[in-house]
C-alpha cells in the first residue's frame, strides 16, 4: 500500500524528509479493523510528532474516514463495508496511508449526511472537546443544569475551539471565545460563540466590557504559559480550568489556591496510549457526535480541502498548520 512517511525528524521550513512509501498491507487481528482510508485531516499533533526520530518509517495522521475492508476475529461493533471515522492512537502508524489498522473501541460510524471530507475534520478535535468539557471541566450533559453558566474558550477559531464552541452551546452554556482578526472573529461567531474577545487586548478588561467579571469554566486550547495569569484572574471561585498545551516555563500554581480552582490537562491520546479500561468511551463520544451531526445541531469545522495522498499535499497541510493562522480544519481527500 502507498503511505507518506519519514524516519528522521525535521523542520519543514528548512527541509522536507517526507517520502512516498510502499508498505505491506496490514492484516487485522483481535479487535482491529482494517480501514480503506478515504479522507484525513491534519492536526497540530502531526507537526509535533514530525520533529522526532524513529527507528523505522513513521506514518502520521490522526483523523480518518474510510470503509471497513477486513475485521479481526474478536470484532463485535462493526462489519465489513461499514463507513467509519476515528482518530486512532499516537502509538501506531496513522492514516496518511491507503489502509490503516485501528482498534474498534476507538471508532464510530461515519455521520450519514456528511461527505468524507466533512467527517474527517471532526474526530480528534471532537473527542478532545468532549473529554475536556464533560470530564475535565465536569460540565453537566443536561443543558438545564448549565443555565447561566459561562465558558471561556481561548482560541475559538482553531480546530478544537470551533467544535468545542458548538458542543458547549448544545450543553446550554454561554460561550465566550477569543479571536483577533476579522475572519477569525466571524468564524467563531459562525460556530456559535455568544461573545468574542480580542486576545490581543487584556482579556479581563475585555470581559468586563461585556459586564462579566468572571467565568465558571475556561478551556485553553492555545499557550498555557501566555494565559495562565489571566486565567487565574478570570475564573470564578471553585471554577475549573482545562489546558491542552504543555507549560514551557515554571508557573505559580499558588495563584489558583485562594479561589480553590481545579486545573487539569487534556490529552486525547491518553486512553488509547495506555489502553485504559474505558477506552470504548471514544466510540461512545463519536456515536453521540454522529447523532448530533446528522440532526444538524452540530456542523463540520472543515475550512480547507486538499486533494490526493501525496508528499505534496501532506507537506502543504503541515506548512499551513505551522503558519499558526489557519481557521477550522485542513482536510486531505484521497
pLDDT digits (tens, 9 = 90+) for 249-288: 999 999 999 999 999 999 999 999 999 999 999 999 999 9
Domain end, chosen from 212, 241, 265, is at 265
Q: Is the per-residue pLDDT at 208 higher than 90?
A: yes
Distance, CA of 4 to CA of 117 (rounded, Å) = 19
Task: Give yes or no for residue 325 having a pLDDT over 90.
Answer: no
| Percent with pLDDT over 90 in the chain | 99
**200 plus 318 within the same structural domain:** no
Write down the pTM of the prediction.
0.96
Among 244, 265, 286, where does a domain finish? 265
308 and 329 co-located in one domain? yes
Model confidence band, residue 297 (pLDDT cutoffs 50, 70, 90): very high
Q: pLDDT tens digits, residue range 116-137?
A: 999 999 999 999 999 999 999 9
Residues 70 and 32 in one domain: yes
Backbone angles phi and psi of 57, in degrees to 5? -65, 135
Q: Are residues 117 and 180 in the same domain?
A: no
State how far the Cα of 92 lies from the Cα of 241, in Å rounded to an integer. Answer: 30
pLDDT on residue 217: 98
207 and 191 together in one domain:
yes
Q: CB under 8 Å to 100, separation ≥6 — which residues? A: 26, 34, 35, 37, 61, 64, 66, 88, 93, 94
Over residues 318-330, the mean pLDDT reads 91
Q: Are residues 154 and 219 in the same domain?
A: yes
Distance CA 138, CA 244 (A): 16
Nearest to 206 by CA among 174, 242, 179, 172: 179
pLDDT value at position 198? 94
User: Do 38 and 88 sit in the same domain of this protein?
Assistant: yes
* Count of other CB atoms within 10 angstroms of residue 199: 20
**Average of per-residue pLDDT values in the chain:** 96
For residues 7-20, give the mean pLDDT: 96
Please indicate, yes or no, whether residues 275 and 190 belong to a single structural domain of this protein. no
Give pLDDT, residue 326: 81
Residue 13, domain CATH: 3.90.180.10
Name the residue range of residue 138's domain.
Answer: 126-265
Dihedral sign (CA 294, 196, 149, 202): positive
Same domain, 44 and 174: no
- 47 and 68 co-located in one domain: yes
Number of domains in the chain: 2
| % of the chain exceeding 70 in pLDDT | 100
DSSP 142-201: SGGGGTT-EEEEESTTSHHHHHHHHHHHHTT-EEEEE--SHHHHHHHHHTT-SEEE-TTS
For residue 309, which of 23, 7, 108 has the smallest C-alpha distance?
A: 23
Domain final position from 247, 265, 283: 265
185 and 165 in a single domain? The answer is yes
- Residue 201 is part of a domain; what is its CATH number? 3.40.50.720
Question: Which residue in the block uniquely carries the three cell numbers 514530525?
Answer: 50
Q: What pLDDT score was predicted for residue 204?
A: 95
Do 166 and 257 lie in a common domain? yes
Whether the CA torsion 208, 211, 216, 217 is positive or negative: it is negative
Amino acid at each position: 500500500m502507498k503511505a507518506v512517511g519519514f524516519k528522521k525528524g525535521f523542520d519543514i521550513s528548512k527541509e522536507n524528509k517526507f517520502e512516498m512509501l510502499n508498505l505491506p498491507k496490514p492484516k487485522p487481528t483481535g479487535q482491529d479493523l482494517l480501514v480503506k482510508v478515504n479522507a484525513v485531516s491534519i492536526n497540530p499533533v502531526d507537526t509535533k510528532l514530525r520533529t522526532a526520530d524513529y527507528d523505522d518509517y513513521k506514518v502520521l495522521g490522526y483523523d480518518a474516514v474510510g470503509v471497513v475492508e477486513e475485521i479481526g476475529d474478536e470484532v463485535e461493533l462493526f462489519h465489513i463495508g461499514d463507513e467509519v471515522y476515528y482518530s486512532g492512537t499516537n502509538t501506531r502508524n496513522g492514516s496518511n496511508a491507503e489502509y490503516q489498522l485501528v482498534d474498534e473501541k476507538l471508532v464510530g460510524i461515519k455521520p450519514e449526511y456528511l461527505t468524507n471530507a466533512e467527517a474527517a475534520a471532526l474526530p480528534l478535535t471532537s473527542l478532545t472537546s468532549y473529554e475536556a468539557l464533560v470530564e475535565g471541566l465536569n460540565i453537566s450533559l443536561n443543558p438545564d443544569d448549565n443555565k447561566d453558566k459561562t465558558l471561556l474558550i481561548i482560541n475559538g477559531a482553531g480546530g478544537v475551539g470551533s467544535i468545542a464552541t458548538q458542543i458547549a452551546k448544545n450543553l446550554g452554556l454561554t460561550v465566550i471565545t477569543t479571536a483577533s482578526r476579522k475572519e477569525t472573529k466571524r468564524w467563531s461567531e459562525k460556530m456559535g460563540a455568544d461573545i468574542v474577545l480580542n486576545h490581543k487586548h487584556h482579556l479581563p478588561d475585555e470581559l468586563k466590557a461585556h459586564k462579566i467579571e468572571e467565568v465558571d469554566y475556561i478551556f485553553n486550547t492555545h499557550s498555557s504559559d501566555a494565559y495562565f495569569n489571566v486565567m487565574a484572574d478570570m475564573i470564578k471561585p471553585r471554577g475549573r480550568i482545562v489546558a491542552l498545551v504543555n507549560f514551557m516555563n515554571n508557573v505559580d500554581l499558588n495563584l489558583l489556591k485562594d479561589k480553590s480552582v481545579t486545573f487539569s490537562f487534556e490529552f486525547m491520546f491518553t486512553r488509547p496510549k495506555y489502553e485504559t479500561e474505558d477506552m470504548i468511551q471514544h466510540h461512545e463520544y463519536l456515536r453521540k457526535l454522529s447523532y448530533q451531526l446528522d440532526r444538524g445541531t452540530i456542523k463540520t469545522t472543515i475550512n480547507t480541502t486538499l486533494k490526493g495522498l501525496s508528499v505534496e499535499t501532506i507537506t502543504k497541510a503541515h506548512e499551513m498548520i505551522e503558519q499558526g493562522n489557519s481557521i477550522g480544519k485542513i482536510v486531505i481527500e484521497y
